[in-house]
A and B are shown apart, each in its own frame.
Chain A
């Protein structure tokens, strides 16, 4: 059974600071996704990582994937309040008609 673990689960940080969220998974996969969820809202796709060494950046967020270590990171640079949300990583086990297993989520609060 695929297990996906995120840490930390709760993160409170000051604006302007940097931090990294980690996502570990238990089986071989080269397809990993990051989603953002605001309170009471649906999931918004942030990044799709489809190969070992993949790095994607959008604004203050950068995601990377190391399939050998079974690890993905979501790095936050110079955080701003608008980044406050819950961030989920999800791993795809299958090659067609994806079946995602989500991590527990990291609840990020950026304080002014």
Chain B
């Protein structure tokens, strides 16, 4: 059963053309996260939502925005993608209690031409 779903799985965009990545979850988890993972690197947290509270990492570029219209959905907007934004984008969720296992979606691989 799919628990954390990301669409699309592969996204090709042009330099400077806005793109939106989607994440949905069937776990009813309170917390949703977006990570960026570049080739052969560790995932890097961009931001997360605890319910509707948005928490931005200090070093996340302004080019990256996020929306969480309801518990199930969270979006990552890249306003003006650059070549350096090509990466795998991972969405994750967690319940928000002491057992903080994060459950990751399959990821969206973004290619910027």
A interface residues with partner B (beta carbon < 8 Å): 31, 33, 35, 40-45, 48, 50, 88, 92, 95-105
Contacts and interface: CB of A to CB of B under 8 A. Distances in A.
Nearest to A94: B100
A98 B102 contact: yes
B48 interface: yes
Given A103-B42, A104-B41, A105-B42, A97 B104 contact: no
Contact of A102 (B40, B42, B96, B99): B42
Contacts, number: 60
Is chain B's interface secondary structure helix, strand, loop, or mixed overall? loop
A111 B39 CA distance: 23
Interface in B73-113: 90, 92, 94, 96-107, 109
A45 B95 CA distance: 14
7 contacts: A42-B105, A44-B104, A96-B50, A96-B96, A97-B48, A104-B42, A105-B41
Contacts of B96: 96-97
Contacts of A101: 45
B43 interface: yes
B31 interface: yes
